[in-house]
Amino acid sequence: MAPQLAKSGASGTNIGVRSYAGMSAGVMWAGPSGQIKETKSGSGQEVYVTGDSDWHIFRLTTIGSSSSTRHISIYMDEDPTPVLDIASPPHSPDQPEGFQFGAGSTSGTQDIYFDWITAADAGVFAPGEENDGSDTDIGTSLIPAVTLPDCRMWVEPTAAGQTITVGIGEMGDPIEYLVANIGQNPFDWSVTAQTPGGGAVPRITSINPPSGSGLASGASVTVTVTIDASSLPAGEHDANLTFTPICSGGSPIERQIKLIVDDCEWEVTADPGTIGSLPEPGCEPDTYQITIENTGWTPGFQSIEYHIEEQDCDGGDRDIPWLSADKMDNVGDPIPLGGQDIVTATVDYSKLETGWNCAVLHIENTCDPDDEKDVEFVVPFVFWYDGEVLPTAADSAGPGMTFVDRDVMGTVLTELVDDPDAEDGKAFKMTDNALDALLSYRTDPQMNIGAVPGATVVGRVKVTE
């Protein structure tokens, strides 16, 4: 019975009875906080117990209808004393109902696992009463009887493969596996290692322990695999592990180790890399230092050459008029192990484009073309709305800049009009003809005004009766 995963809010229903109008009776368990809440509409009583992240059994019984007093009891871990016992008043007309389980959708998040869910509509049964031999029982338990297989092994991590990255000459950290018996009978077991082609794996120096005997049902053991990658060349080196339960009906479990020996390591740092305030008119361009450092593993590590491209923040290559770098590559002058190179980026405020100004210096190296690094520059919004198009039109305030409706209330009429007194003969008109009418527009993308030392908005406006 593999658990199923769902997301829940801070409140919601895990199991319950639901009508088309809403919850009729439900229970929500909040796990670590220890909250148990009855989630019926109009009730919502709760109690707190010691919280944890373990499995628990919750039982909910209900009798009555939505239009009458409904008696609800909630039990935890089959304790015959309910944690909540509620007489809920009528709250809605009767409707068809059904059993429900799942997750809530209110504030907060948590992971919820469901192992099993059972239900019966033949009566109100406290723990054990559904199968107690009375005249009203249903003759079977609502707690599933689980029959374990005779022989079954469990190995964690459960992922089929583990990836380890080391540098040239490094050993590599050991890997631990948990081997457990989730069957009925004890079994002996073993672990072997081989290459994908079936040969020996010299880089795995030990498996401790490599085997065991008499692993009891429910018991587990930790197996540590030690790796020595110090003599391996750069590249990918694979090994397969086979965990075998020695018992009738047992199936071996495969795990792969992908060992990557990396001979290229570098770091890129920018100071600060992001501009967050509008300079005063006429100020000089700002410069920012980008440090590219060769942080390779060993003295034999190769040197690094790099190449820089200008991109917009959507990843497209293009010339950015307000951003430049004093060098776009270091071809012919590689960075040695432990060395660094400084690239100076310049932002020219006089060349800012109307709209959203965001650009990236995209840096690639020659020793590992897949390891790319970006330095992002975000300079102030500069928008210019001229009243010739509606505010919500695409690019109405410049490339990439527009407005979205906010604070809409009632009806405010809007239109584009000719006005000889407007600078360009065009104007955007808003007619507010009701006391409760409200409409405003906000720039999109949003501005983080609170993070800058100030902001200025200028507009040419007229108001008539």
Instruction: Looking at the structure, tell me whether residues 12 and 118 fall in a common domain.
Output: yes
Please give the Cα distance from 217 to 441 (Å, whole number).
66
Please give the Cα distance from 48 to 36 (Å, whole number).
6
CA distances from 19 to 37, 86, 89, 90, 95 (A): 19, 19, 16, 14, 6
Position 9 scores a pLDDT of 34
In 295-401 the beta strands, taken as DSSP E runs, fall at: 306-312, 323-325, 340-347, 358-365, 373-378
Please give the Cα distance from 288 to 282 (Å, whole number).
19
Instruction: Looking at the structure, tell me whether residues 392 and 455 fall in a common domain.
Output: yes
Instruction: Looking at the structure, tell me whether residues 119 and 12 fall in a common domain.
Output: yes
Instruction: Looking at the structure, tell me whether residues 102 and 10 fall in a common domain.
Output: yes
Q: Does any domain span residue 138?
A: no
Position 21 scores a pLDDT of 56
Instruction: Looking at the structure, tell me whether residues 368 and 295 fall in a common domain.
Output: yes
Please give the Cα distance from 187 to 249 (Å, whole number).
11
Please give the Cα distance from 45 to 303 (Å, whole number).
67
Other CB atoms within 10 Å distance of the CB of residue 40 = 25
Strand 58-63 to 46-48 pairing: unpaired
Which ranges of the chain have pLDDT less than 50? 1-12, 41-42, 105-108, 275-282, 299-300, 450-453
Q: Are 51 and 30 in contact (CB under 8 A)?
A: yes
Instruction: Looking at the structure, tell me whether residues 394 and 329 fall in a common domain.
Output: no
**pTM (whole model) above 0.75:** no
Position 144 scores a pLDDT of 80
Q: Does any domain span residue 137?
A: no
Instruction: Looking at the structure, tell me whether residues 333 and 418 fall in a common domain.
Output: no
Maximum separation of any 2 CA atoms in the chain, in Å: 96
Position 6 scores a pLDDT of 29
Structure token digits, residue 275: 């501009």
Out of 324, 354, 378, pick the residue that ends a domain: 378
**Tokens 């505010």, residue located:** 391
Note down the domain range covering 342: 266-378
Instruction: Looking at the structure, tell me whether residues 212 and 252 fall in a common domain.
Output: yes
Out of 262, 283, 299, pick the residue that ends a domain: 262
Instruction: Looking at the structure, tell me whether residues 362 and 290 fall in a common domain.
Output: yes
Buried/exposed code over 321-341 (b: 16+ C-beta within 10 A; e: otherwise): ebbbbeeebbeeebbebeeeb
How many structural domains comprise the chain? 4
Which of 229, 300, 297, 299 minimizes the C-alpha distance to 264?
A: 297
Question: 357: part of which helix (H) or strand (E)?
Answer: none
The SS3 call for residue 129 is helix
Q: Are 215 and 221 in contact (CB under 8 A)?
A: yes
Instruction: Looking at the structure, tell me whether residues 20 and 108 fall in a common domain.
Output: yes
pLDDT tens, position by position, 37-46: 777 644 568 8
Instruction: Looking at the structure, tell me whether residues 184 and 243 fall in a common domain.
Output: yes
Instruction: Looking at the structure, tell me whether residues 20 and 126 fall in a common domain.
Output: yes
Q: Are 129 and 80 in contact (CB under 8 A)?
A: no
Q: Does any domain span residue 143?
A: no
